[in-house]
A and B are shown apart, each in its own frame.
Chain A
Amino acid sequence: MAALFTLNDVSKSFVRGSDTITIFDKLNMQIEAGDFVAIMGPSGSGKTTLLNMLGGVDGPTSGEIDFDGTRIDQLSENQLSRWRADNVGFIFQFYNLMPMLNAARNVELPLLLTSIKGKDRKARVDAALALVGLADRAKHSPNELSGGQQQRVAIARAIVSDPKLLLCDEPTGDLDRATADEILGILQSLNEKFGKTIVMVTHDPQAAKYAKRTLHLDKGAFVEEVAA
């Protein structure tokens, strides 16, 4: 398989007051297309920062991040917006649905960033909702849905524009075990049936088991790699 992501000597540091806090120092990694990677590690290990950099939400201090031939660390903010809209679906710990929009409209949001119109849009929204098993909840607003249902809407939103990559930030962190397993099952099938590349940050070893491989981060470095 070809490498979807290639990170070369990526460093990231923050200046806080008079201190410089280094999170990554010359990190190197590759993520193949079609992979499902779980990233685990203690708080402050830099796993969310890594995810942010992969999603172009945060940039590295130095080093290269190559996505499928594009140096995303060199893109302008507007180019990054465009790139994210085309290539990345995000799934957040707290779902981040728009409270004033119903489920279908929340799912439709990313399509506003594409040239897809009218009927096609509706078809895609319906398909995405059906895929996460919420076809019957399309008209419900987020506050009428349970946490698990909200996260499923969020997954539908992440896949509706058919991006290659899904980035998940603690997707089950706010859910009970059974619901978490449902959500992880959906992610797994998206990876297996639809070939989505998934990078998932998690605290939960159970969740990590759904991934093809798990990377353990500690103090900005991978400590071991375990194949699933």
Chain B
Amino acid sequence: MLNQIAAIIAMNVKSLPRRANMSVAAVAAIAAVVAVLLGFLAMANGLQQTISGSGSDDFAIILRANSSSELNSTLTKDQQDLIALAPGFARGPGGRPLVSRESYVIVDGIKKSSDTKANIPLRGMSPEGVALRSGVRVTEGRMFEAGLNELVVGAGVLREFAGFEMGKEIRFGRSVWRVVGVFEAPGSVFESELWADIKVVQGQFNRGASVQTMRAKLAVPGDISTPAAYIENEPRLNADIKTERTYFAGQSQGTQQLVTLGWALGIAMALGSLSGALNTMYASVQARTRDIATLRTLGFGGFATFVGTVVESLVLAAIGGLIGGVVAFLFLDGITASTLSGSFTQVVFAFDLSPQLLADSVVLALVIGAVGGIFPAWRASRLPLTAAFGR
């Protein structure tokens, strides 16, 4: 039986080029579906990785209560000082709590790709701020110096925006800044930011002593219960504390819509290409009516004929899926794009085609192949044997 099936599969597959036109059509249809689906999923994946990948359990972010993002938060000087006293934060040399006061200003940059203005976040932070982020590495130059109008530039900003190269002078409003360093923070939103000293930012942007958020290293990673209880019980504070991971996970919810949209489109197109696959396979069975009937007359079983046709369809689908995957990989994986994030600033991210996504879309391709094969295969196995005779 296996012999028969193997022989019929081999014959069917070998005969594919004879029906090149229809075979190519089915393969292309399935490839198109897979490429579209992967395009969306890779985009959503990349964006989500970037936003939620920015979060670690080691750090906590403190915002004004009910602020959905940093931009909407403010903490007064008094509140900052109270928060700095909260228990449960890790301490540095000299017993000082490891906290950073951070302000968040949006400035304009010129996008290289479109030559248009776009929002970039400029973050003022305490000198401790750099140590309160994981995976940050200065790749060129040095960190900003406290008290000076100096900027360090995220690698993402450098890639997507013009005029942020080392040593360049930049004007925001009336203030002039000098780029003294470039930093990398692979796969995180921080790469899309500019960093400077908090005091200078407060001064240059008329912020007084207020900041947007505070950031602290947790004494016990992931455990915010101690500082949270303190903040809750302190009537002068009206603030929320979240781990960095929780905060960024909340920011990435919008990407789910991209995934949904991708699957909706993918499935709609899959239905369209399914009829293409069915047409191809019916045509294939029809073109081989005589061959199939001859084999059956020679004594080959109906089941072997059935399986052979289904496998032929699956092979076409797999080729299509693979081509779609390769096309998506070559043209879409790693594309850097930038878009508006929830806090009205640009987030730079790269399309990320994970093996899981590839697997998902190949499964979709095979489902198309299986459904597109089963019905024609049924017909193939029911062909009257008399079709082998005469014309």
Interface residues of A (CB under 8 A from B): 48, 51-52, 55, 57-58, 77-78, 81-86, 88, 90, 92-94, 96, 98-101, 109-110, 112-113, 157, 169
Contact = CB atoms under 8 A, between A and B. Distances in A.
Contact of B11 (A93, A94, A98): A98
Given A55-B297, A113-B4, 6 more contacts: A81-B296, A81-B300, A84-B299, A85-B299, A100-B18, A113-B298
A109 B385 contact: no
A86 B298 CA distance: 9
Contacts of B297: 55, 57, 84, 90
Contacts of B174: none
A52 B386 contact: yes
Contacts of B15: 98-100
A181 B295 CA distance: 27
Contacts, number: 78
B201 to A, nearest CB: 73
Q: For chain B, what secondary structure do more than half of its interface residues adopt (helix, strand, loop), or is it mixed?
A: helix
Contact of B299 (A58, A82, A94): A82
A92 B298 contact: no
Contacts of A92: 294, 388-389
A91 B4 CA distance: 20
Contacts of B7: 109, 112
B3 interface: yes
* Best-surrounded residue of B300, B302, B385 (most CB of chain A within 10 A): B385
Interface residues of B, number: 24
B301 interface: yes
Contact of A112 (B4, B14, B294, B389): B4
Interface string B99-129: 0000000000000000000000000000000
B301 to A, nearest CB: 5
A63 B315 CA distance: 45
B299 A52 contact: no
B93 interface: no
B327 to A, nearest CB: 29
A99 B18 contact: yes
B290 interface: yes
A99 B292 CA distance: 12
A174 to B, nearest CB: 10
